[in-house]
């Protein structure tokens, strides 16, 4: 990746992806908030869970902790469902971004796919990763200059080095 492509900045695009990936048990609330609709049905939640699982697999791939087979199946899944959430170009004098063609919950799924696409065009997609601290595994946007970040926060990073230190002490 050329170094100048990614100025370390968290933009709304990566925020949307990270927020969706980290929605955890709050998935329905997250969907309701973004869709602006009071009723999100069971079918929507199942679709959201599948989409989130596929994206999380790719985020784990960005952190070098996903198997080839699961990455291939996540990619296949995303290719199949992409047609359900079409995107359209929004063109201005300054440039162009992709936006969802639909509204409501389907529009939220479209917005997530658009965020990935727009971020990928800016060179930032490989920067959305999962934290390597076992027991955290939160999605985060890697702001390091050379895209070498492994942990979501300094707290996770020091937990891991503390654990490594203790295990060295034990084996010494």
Which residues of this protein are in contact with Zn ion, per CB under 5 A? Answer: 131, 133, 136, 152, 156
Alpha carbons 55 and 115: distance in angstroms, whole number: 12
Alpha carbons 148 and 3: distance in angstroms, whole number: 12
Cα Rg for the chain, rounded, in angstroms? 18
Question: Minimum distance between the CB of residue 138 and Zn ion, rounded to whole angstroms?
Answer: 5
Name the nearest CA neighbour of 113 among 73, 80, 86: 86
Question: Minimum distance between the CB of residue 157 and Zn ion, rounded to whole angstroms?
Answer: 8
> Quick one: 32 or 157, whose CB is closer to Zn ion?
157
Question: Minimum distance between the CB of residue 85 and Zn ion, rounded to whole angstroms?
Answer: 29
> Quick one: 78 or 150, whose CB is closer to Zn ion?
150
- Contact, 114 vs 99, CB < 8 A? yes
- Contact, 50 vs 77, CB < 8 A? yes
Question: Minimum distance between the CB of residue 60 and Zn ion, rounded to whole angstroms?
Answer: 13
> Quick one: 87 or 152, whose CB is closer to Zn ion?
152
> Quick one: 101 or 162, whose CB is closer to Zn ion?
162
Question: Minimum distance between the CB of residue 65 and Zn ion, rounded to whole angstroms?
Answer: 13
> Quick one: 78 or 136, whose CB is closer to Zn ion?
136
């Amino acid at each position: 990746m050329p170094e100048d492509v990614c100025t370390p900045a968290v933009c709304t695009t990566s925020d949307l992806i990270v927020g969706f990936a980290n929605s955890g048990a709050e998935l329905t609330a997250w969907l309701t908030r973004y869709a602006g609709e009071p009723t999100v049905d069971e079918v929507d939640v199942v679709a959201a869970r599948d989409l989130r699982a596929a994206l999380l697999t790719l985020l784990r791939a960005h952190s070098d902790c996903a198997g080839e087979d699961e990455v291939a199946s996540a990619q296949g899944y995303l290719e199949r469902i992409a047609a359900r959430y079409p995107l359209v170009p929004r063109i201005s004098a300054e440039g162009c971004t992709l936006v969802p063609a639909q509204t409501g919950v389907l529009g939220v799924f479209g917005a997530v796919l658009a965020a990935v696409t727009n971020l990928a065009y800016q060179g930032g997609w490989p920067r959305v990763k999962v934290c390597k601290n076992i027991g955290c595994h939160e999605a985060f946007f890697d702001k390091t200059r050379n895209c070498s970040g492994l942990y979501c926060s300094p707290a996770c990073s020091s937990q891991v080095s503390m654990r490594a230190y203790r295990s060295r002490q034990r084996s010494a």
